[in-house]
Structure 1
């Protein structure tokens, strides 16, 4: 592979914003990729994948390159050199790459990978927490979460079938495969810009990981019900729920951010969904109005996001023990408050994209012991690990109200 100056510089600029200005990787790349209209799919793919790769392996590469944050521009080029050398790419004869110790890189790599926190490129505190909570599973799980995420899409059953979607994507050179046990899922065989395709514009599918698709399956909404999605965000799960309800009944999608609910409305229109009502949680009144009104309530709780490190590798550099404790406090509050919206005989689903028992099983057990959870019983829980499925790490618990 020959390195092109403008693509390498765009990658370095992106890393500078992510590492030194604490900007979100996906937003940075969205802006970077608009910089030059002449860039084709391969050029944009190089910038995005290289940037994500260096973000994912930041600690390991910094150890090998002998650089520390904040990263100066020469230091960012040293990180890039480590990435290129370990990927067998010839370093060009540019001023920016002078004095790079390419010969020492391999030796330092062999030494660094003897230590798990360096090998898996994670902070020491996170390595200790993962081992404490997951024991021997942590080794396999953190290794699996360092792999690039597959692109999974969910068929919109209101508009098409899996087979019809598969054929229409094949017509535009996008090959997919079905996934056993996931009735609406298709996995892309190669990454491609599917958002520019007619099937996407026509609302035939949404991008949604297979593990995330399990949430609505376990919730099992039926046409005519009133379902409350209490932490809806931009609404991936609300859209799935509405399609399973065949547009009959009502989905109340709630969130504390109006911008996310506005995006949900836009997505619902493209999906041909008209049984979703969005409600902003701007005070406790929003919850009080719905106490005892939901046939089923979904709490897709804020979490550490450790189960989705494959697609958000920058989040491991933004987390810290205090933040995780704050998240767990919020989860507890949401369970106590939002569970009140379940009517008698109704069901509650608590879900996170975390793999930590302290955010998952422990939260549910503690809730069932508190007064707020005394009317609920645990029907089933599903712990989804990336090293077993290849998809995101997830937790889903189904609770029945008396």
Structure 2
């Protein structure tokens, strides 16, 4: 591979914003990719993937380069040189790479790869937490799996098309996909491609949604005609899946505390042809009270640490802090206590997170069931989706039945 100056500069500019200024990696990369209209798909792929890779392995590379945050521009070039050297890329004769100690870099890599917090490039506190919650062996397996690049998986919108029809349409655009056993609406891309520019996407025939995330809506056992509440709907990935499972029949009330996310959901619902969704902004406790004992099904896709989705959000491990984790567990339990009241007698509820930590998952469900509000519920089943086993995002979901 030959390094091109303008592409490398784009990566360094992106890393400055992500590492030093706390910007979100996905937003930074979106902006970077608009920088030069002459860039082809390979150029854009290099910028996006290299930036994500360096963010993912930031601690390891910084340790090898012997630099500390906040990084100067020269520090970032040293980190870049480590990335390139470890991938066997010949460094060009640029001033940024003068005196790069290639042999020393490889030696330091071998040495640091024996220590998990460096090998997997994670903060000390997170490494300690993972061991405490999952044990040495399981944590080592999960964090290694979470440090691999995420596949691009589509969820076919069955309100508009079928899996076979969409696969054929994409094939005509040289985008090859494959079916995934056990995921009825999923198509996995064989190679990364920008699917957002396709007519099929603009027509709402699919959404990009990880295979594990596609399991959640199905776990709620919905059927056409039901009244369903998606209590933490956000921008509506799972809401839209519920609409297709319900064949646009019945009612889905999409709740969220963030009005801007519900605006995005409205836009996506229109594109998807999902007409049975009613967004409601939670601007007071009255919104929940009005729905007490009114819902056949309630989905609580709870706010969480996001540790199960580090594949696609590698910068999250640097933004996450122990204090946030403690606060989010309190929030999760409060949401369970309050939102469970919307389930009507005989109805069902799913509590789900994109975390792999028992303290956010089965421990929260146990706490809820032992409480006064939870005494009306029983656990039907739960499911741990581990990245090391299936290769997709880490998720947890519990199906609860109201007596």
TM range (shorter): over 0.9
Q: Distance in 2 between matches of 1:286 and 1:17?
A: 39
Superposed CA deviations along residues 44-85 of structure 1, whole A, max 9, x for unmatched, are 110000000000000000110000000000000001000000
Cα distance in 2 for partners of 1:287, 1:98 equals: 62
State the shift of 1:99 in Å. Answer: 2.6
Match of 1:130 in 2: 130
Q: Residue 366 of structure 2 corresponds to which residue in structure 1?
A: 365
User: Aligned-pair distance for 1:98?
Assistant: 1.6
Inter-partner Cα distance in structure 2 for 1:74 and 1:102: 17
Alpha-carbon distance between aligned partners in 2 of 1:245 and 1:388, rounded to the nearest angstrom: 30
| Aligned pairs (5 A) from 1:381-392 | 381-392=382-393
CA distance in 1, matches of 2:276, 2:228: 10
* 1:256 alignment partner in structure 2: 257
Q: Which residue pairs with 1:93 in the alignment? A: 93
1:42 is displaced (CA, Å) by 0.7
Q: How far apart in 1 are the matches of 2:107 and 2:204?
A: 51
1:148-159 pair list within 5 angstroms: 148-159=149-160
- Rounded Cα–Cα distance in structure 1 between residues aligned with 2:296 and 2:124: 44
Question: How big is each residue's C-alpha offset from its partner over 1:10-49, in whole Å with a ceiling of 9 and x where there is no partner?
Answer: 0000000000000000011111111111111111110000
Cα distance in structure 2, aligned partners of 1:265 and 1:357: 34
Mark the runs of 5 or more structure 2 residues left unpaired by the alignment: none
Q: TM-score, normalised by structure 2?
A: 0.99
Structure 2 SS opposite 1:234: coil
Deviation of 1:158 (Å): 0.7
Q: Does 1:35 align with 2:21?
A: no
With the length of structure 1 as denominator, give the TM-score of the two structures.
0.99
**Aligned position for 2:57:** 57
Residue in 2 aligned with 1:169? 170
**Paired residues for 1:136-215 under 5 Å:** 136-215=137-216
Match of 1:347 in 2: 348
Displacement of 1:321 in angstroms is 1.0
Alignment match, 1:81 = 81
1:258-315 C-alpha deviation (Å, 9 max, x unpaired) = 1110110111111111100000011111111111111000000000000000000000
1:232 and 1:117 map into 2 onto residues whose CA distance is 34
SS at match of 1:228: strand
Q: Deviations over 1:339-388 (max 9, x none)?
A: 11111110010000000000000000000000010100000000000000
SS at match of 1:324: helix
Distance 1:294 1:158 in 2: 23
The alignment partner of 1:211 has SS state of coil
Structure 1: gaps of 5 or more residues: none
**Counterpart in 1 of 2:15?**
15
SS in 1 for 2:184: strand
Give 1:202 shift: 1.1
Quote the offset at 1:97 in angstroms. 1.4
**What is the RMSD computed on CA atoms of the aligned residues?**
0.6
- Aligned-partner Cα distance in 1 for 2:47–2:3: 11
Q: Partners in 2 of 1:260 and 1:40 — Cα distance?
A: 32
Equivalent pairs counted in the alignment come to 402
Corresponding residue of 1:281: 282
How big is each residue's C-alpha offset from its partner over 1:81-135, in whole Å with a ceiling of 9 and x where there is no partner?
Answer: 0000001101111111123222210000000011001000001111111011111
Residue number in structure 2 paired with 1:114: 114
Deviation beyond 3 Å, 4+ runs, structure 1: none
C-alpha distance in structure 1 between counterparts of 2:238 and 2:319, whole Å: 25
Name the CA distance, whole Å, in 2 between partners of 1:229 and 1:382.
Answer: 19
1:193: Cα distance to partner? Answer: 0.5
